Amino acid sequence: MTLILSNDDVGKLLTMPDCMDCLEDAYRELAHGRGISRTRSDSVAPSGRDDEALYSLKSMDGVIPKLGVGAVRINSDIITWPKIGNSMRRVKSPAAPGGRYTGLVLLFSSETGEPLAIMPDGVMQRIRVGAANGLGVKYMARADAKTVGILGSGWQAGTQLAAACVARGITAIRCHSPTRENREKFCADMTAELGVECIPVDSPEAAIAGADIVMCATNTIDAVFFEQWLEPGAHLTSIKRPEIEEKAVARCDRVVVHTHDDKPMLVATRDLDVPEHGGERGWGLAAGIDFASLPTLPQLIAGEIVGRERPDEITCFLNNLGLGYQFAAAGAVVHRKAREQGLGHDLPTDWFTEDVHP
């Protein structure tokens, strides 16, 4: 039987400590060549919805033989790039019937090839991004780090803070995002959820000044953190490539990236302008960084490099591109726990396999 799970199911089953633990082990497998991950690919075309929106079909996958699974993550998105505050943002539109988004994780057995589970990607992708950055904190931030300054109060920001709290004994958080109401609600929610006071502040400088850990968690395709804000001893982290100014990255004492891939593979219709892939925004930012020469998070976790040697070093983790491999690791945990706890709905695997040679 193939298990069908909801975002609510995934949220009940995949805790932040669970996700950090499973990714930590999976990254060691990847570093030693015992796991594989395919570079994300984006196929982009006009959407037919309006002149500002584009259609993007995104996919990524990975296989973890140790866990006996492979996974594919697929997104079918309607995307716009509005300017909000001082930066241009990448915004997905809930254009599916009922005002919904379309993203799926398909988990397969590497022993039989059969589909083990199908689930939405929304909750899982949020937790796995937080977990990856949390592992960066674990291996690179000072052992006595206690304060966090975060830029952003959206969907991704909450799990960034949750992961930081798992990795270190965080006692204080400051948050800035452009919209006052958003940051105030976010801080109230995070204070209640994490048991750590989260204070909304009116400027980026007020959020990050003196912070042991500085986190960027936005949907911008412009830089939001700049060189002049660097302070000795801080650990700097981002969830996407454009967030940190290139000059700031160059000044850090140690920089670790998620993957050597500098951008997703792009396939687009003729003469199509994709804002994040053109000019000096999005993937065009940080073009001077040689991602292929920098160490990766799997190499750091496998002990091939050191994350920090001195308390005054400025360290930086760039979560420059997500991996389909993460969904195999997290998906395996969710599938196992769902079976143990009896969550989800079974459908006949015959519905998803065939007796005709493909």
pLDDT at position 55? 97
pLDDT at position 219? 87
CA distance 189 to 138: 24
Token pair in block for residue 63: 């296989």
CA distance 254 to 33: 24
Q: DSSP letter string over 76-105?
A: EEEEE--EETTEEB-EEE--BTTTB--EEE
Task: For the chain, give every domain's residue range.
Answer: 2-124+324-351, 130-318
pLDDT at position 140? 98
Name residue 56's beta-bridge partners.
Answer: 44, 77
Span 2-124+324-351: which CATH code?
A: 3.30.1780.10
CATH superfamily membership of 130-318: NAD(P)-binding Rossmann-like Domain (3.40.50.720)
Token pair in block for residue 183: 């940051």
Taken as a whole, the chain contains a residue count of 358
Question: Which DSSP state fits 154?
Answer: S
Find out whether 217 and 193 touch, Cβ atoms under 8 Å.
no
CA distance 188 to 208: 19
- Reduced to 3 states (helix: H, G, I; strand: E, B; else coil), residue 225 is strand
Q: Angle at CA 62, nearest 5°, toward 17 and 7?
A: 50
Q: Is the dihedral of CA 207, 208, 212, 216 positive or negative?
A: positive
CA distance 277 to 275: 5
| Residues of the chain with confidence (pLDDT) below 50 | none
Token pair in block for residue 32: 């030693």
pLDDT at position 49? 82
pLDDT at position 156? 96
The 10s digit of each residue's pLDDT in 172-224 is 999 999 999 999 999 999 999 999 999 999 999 999 999 999 999 998 888 99
Give the phi and the psi of residue 313 in degrees, each rounded to 5.
-65, 145
Distance (Å) of CA 193 to CA 129, 145, 187, 198, 243: 18, 20, 10, 10, 26
Find out whether 24 and 330 touch, Cβ atoms under 8 Å.
no
The alpha helices in the chain, defined as continuous H runs, are: 7-13, 16-31, 122-140, 157-167, 180-194, 204-208, 246-251, 297-301, 324-341
pLDDT at position 74? 98
Give the phi and the psi of residue 36 in degrees, each rounded to 5.
-135, 150
Stated as kind and residue range, the H or E segment containing 173 is strand 172-176
